């Protein structure tokens, strides 16, 4: 079983420029889910969702040796047994740089097979060609902006006790958003920056407490996917909404951004709109 400290993160790595699928480094999701009390063999998980990866640094050679470029979008189901460590993902993509392929379809086939094997479940992969770059849309996550609140912060680790909801005034339907999410890489401690959106139906969540809670991730070390699942479970347990969805858009590192979405009700596929900071 792979562990984060065994990954290529934080270590000198030779950049292979010929196809090398063995560079992918899977890490079991269950290791961190155990901390949250989520046991896959104990019944249905309290959420479903996807991780949306966008790969902006993707290139290969055609059969005449001419470089080709594209943007890849990889959608990974949240119930896949593994995540793939992001630096290993980058090294894997770089291994196509001097690899000759018959065309985009040949690249897609390799990406789908290799990444499905790494994540342990079928993944969806699409390529955007340079001719379509101009059609890529940008946009921000909608919602009431929590960052408007003038809060005083005295702690920078996740504190679920800050979360509360008013259950005396019935149910509300609300979407809240903050650009102040920052966590740190589980291995290197390097900063990860994100925008988080919380959609819910239930007792009205105290916005000041929620903002303080989110800012509390500022010195917390976890991968993107794990942070979003922690936020989901803490809000679910402390505020008891009947419906809940948490979506985070993280800024890219190494040409990759990772955007986890977790929900317990159907909201449709989350939009893959690149934010201003992405």
**Domains of the chain, earliest start first:** 4-134 (3.30.1130.10), 144-263 (3.30.1130.10)
86 assigned to a ligand binding site? yes
Distance, in Å, from the CA atom of 175 to the CA atom of 172, rounded to the nearest integer, reads 10
| pTM over cut 0.85 | yes
- Tens of pLDDT along the chain (278 residues)? 676 665 565 555 667 879 999 999 999 999 899 999 997 665 689 999 999 999 999 999 999 999 999 999 999 999 999 999 999 999 999 999 999 999 999 999 999 999 999 999 999 999 999 999 999 999 999 999 999 999 999 999 999 999 999 988 889 999 999 999 999 988 788 999 999 999 999 999 999 999 999 999 999 999 999 999 999 999 999 999 999 999 999 999 999 999 999 999 988 889 999 999 99
Q: What was the pLDDT predicted at 3?
A: 67
Q: Are strands 172-184 and 144-145 parallel, antiparallel or unpaired?
A: parallel
- Residues with a catalytic annotation lie at 185, 192
Q: What was the pLDDT predicted at 12?
A: 55
Q: What was the pLDDT predicted at 235?
A: 98
Are 187 and 9 in contact, with CB atoms under 8 Å apart?
yes
What is the chain's length? 278
225 assigned to a ligand binding site? yes
Torsion angle, CA of 186/77/58/32, rounded to 10 degrees? 10
Closest residue by Cα to residue 159 from 236, 224, 248, 234: 234
Long-range CB pairs of 144-147 (<8 Å, 24+ gap) are 144/174, 144/175, 144/176, 144/177, 144/207, 145/177, 145/178, 145/179, 146/176, 146/177, 146/178, 146/180, 146/207, 146/210, 146/211, 146/214, 147/178, 147/179, 147/180, 147/211
Q: What was the pLDDT predicted at 5?
A: 61
69 assigned to a ligand binding site? no
């Amino acid at each position: 079983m792979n562990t984060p400290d065994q990954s290529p993160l934080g270590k000198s790595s030779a950049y292979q420029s010929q196809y090398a699928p063995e560079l992918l480094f899977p890490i079991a999701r269950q290791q961190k889910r155990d901390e949250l009390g989520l046991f896959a063999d104990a019944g249905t998980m309290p959420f479903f969702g996807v991780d949306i990866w966008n790969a902006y640094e993707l290139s290969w050679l055609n059969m005449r040796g001419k470089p080709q470029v594209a943007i890849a979008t990889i959608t990974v189901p949240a119930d896949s047994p593994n995540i793939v460590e992001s630096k290993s993902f980058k090294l894997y993509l770089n291994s196509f740089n001097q690899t000759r392929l018959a065309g985009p379809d040949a690249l897609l086939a390799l990406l789908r097979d290799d990444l499905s094997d790494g994540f342990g479940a079928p993944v969806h992969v699409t390529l955007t060609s340079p001719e379509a770059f101009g059609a890529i849309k940008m946009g921000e996550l909608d919602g009431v902006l929590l960052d408007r609140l003038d809060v005083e912060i005295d702690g920078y680790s996740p504190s679920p006790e800050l979360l509360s909801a008013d259950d005396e005034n019935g149910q509300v339907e609300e979407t809240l958003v903050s650009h102040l999410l920052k966590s740190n890489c589980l291995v290197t401690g390097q900063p990860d920056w994100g925008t988080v959106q919380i959609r819910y139906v239930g007792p009205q969540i105290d916005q000041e407490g929620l903002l303080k809670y989110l800012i509390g991730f500022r010195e917390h070390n976890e991968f993107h996917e794990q942070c979003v699942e922690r936020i989901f479970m803490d809000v679910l347990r402390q505020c008891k909404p009947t419906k809940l969805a948490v979506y985070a858009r993280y800024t890219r590192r190494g040409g990759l951004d990772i955007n986890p979405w977790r929900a317990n009700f159907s909201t449709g596929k989350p939009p893959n709109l690149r934010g201003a900071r992405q």
